[in-house]
Amino acid sequence: MRLAIIPARSGSTRIKNKNVKELCGKPLLIYSLETAHSSDLFDEVHVSTDSTEYVSIVEKYGYQVDFLRESRLAGNRSSIVEILRWVIKEYEKQGKYFDEVCMLMATAPLIESDDLKKGYELFVKHKRLIPVLSVASFAAPVERGFKVRKDGILEPMFEEKREMHSQDFDTSYHDAGAFFFIKTEQLMKGSDKVINNFLPYILPRYKVVDIDELEDFHTAEILYLGRKAIRE
């Protein structure tokens, strides 16, 4: 059996109630919830939240939340791995056991069901032995990056590479903040802080926005509406 978990705690600080803030007329987390269901990949889709308000919103859209997350796991220091493990154990108490898990972020409104399907196909292709992580390429070489010194002046992060041509750099990728697939057995082992050695499922940059600030939220709206307009 296959489980999708959408983490959606209520205590976001930079954007209040970010996970249910309306994006183009719909609460943010509902996009991921609908995408997970429409993919037909999962036997269960669970929104992991500590908020009864969030549960009401989920139910308004015709879905259910089987149980609330413990408050001790709702802080900004709680690790995703720790949360996923707790959810799995709660389901096991109900007699439900899952062989595979997908973590799908509540802040990924641009992800489509085909992305999940193709990510899972990659997982299966490699016999489910290595987790699959959605990533995207950086828009510019990371070697061209700057930091701002205390005196307000830009300082190259890689001074020794400033004179290199862009085509001489390898393509660099970052976590898309969208989803990953993993076997339950592997998830339940080892450190609760991080999982290493992922296979990359590469998303186009127009499907990736790390929503932490209001500017990111507005960028996601623009991309969503832009893609909708192109299709229409």
Tens digit of each residue's pLDDT (9 = 90 or more) over 47-101: 999 999 999 999 999 999 999 999 888 877 788 999 999 999 999 999 999 999 9
Distance separating alpha carbons of residues 45 and 73, to the nearest angstrom:
19
Residue 19 maps to a domain: yes
Residue 26 maps to a domain: yes
What pLDDT score was predicted for residue 75? 78
pTM of the full structure: 0.92
Tell me the one-letter amino acid at 188: M
Instruction: Report the domain count for the chain.
Output: 1
What pLDDT score was predicted for residue 215? 94
CATH number of the domain to which 22 belongs: 3.90.550.10
Strands (E), the chain: 2-7, 22-23, 26-27, 44-48, 100-104, 132-137, 146-148, 154-156, 173-183, 199-202
Residue 111 maps to a domain: yes
Its domain, for residue 78, covers 2-137+172-231
What pLDDT score was predicted for residue 195? 72
Residue 162 maps to a domain: no
Residue 9 maps to a domain: yes
What pLDDT score was predicted for residue 179? 97
Residues 7, 83: contact at Cβ < 8 Å?
yes
> Residue 60: CB partners within 8 Å, gap ≥ 6?
none
Tell me which residues of the chain have a pLDDT lower than 70.
Answer: 191-194
What pLDDT score was predicted for residue 159? 85
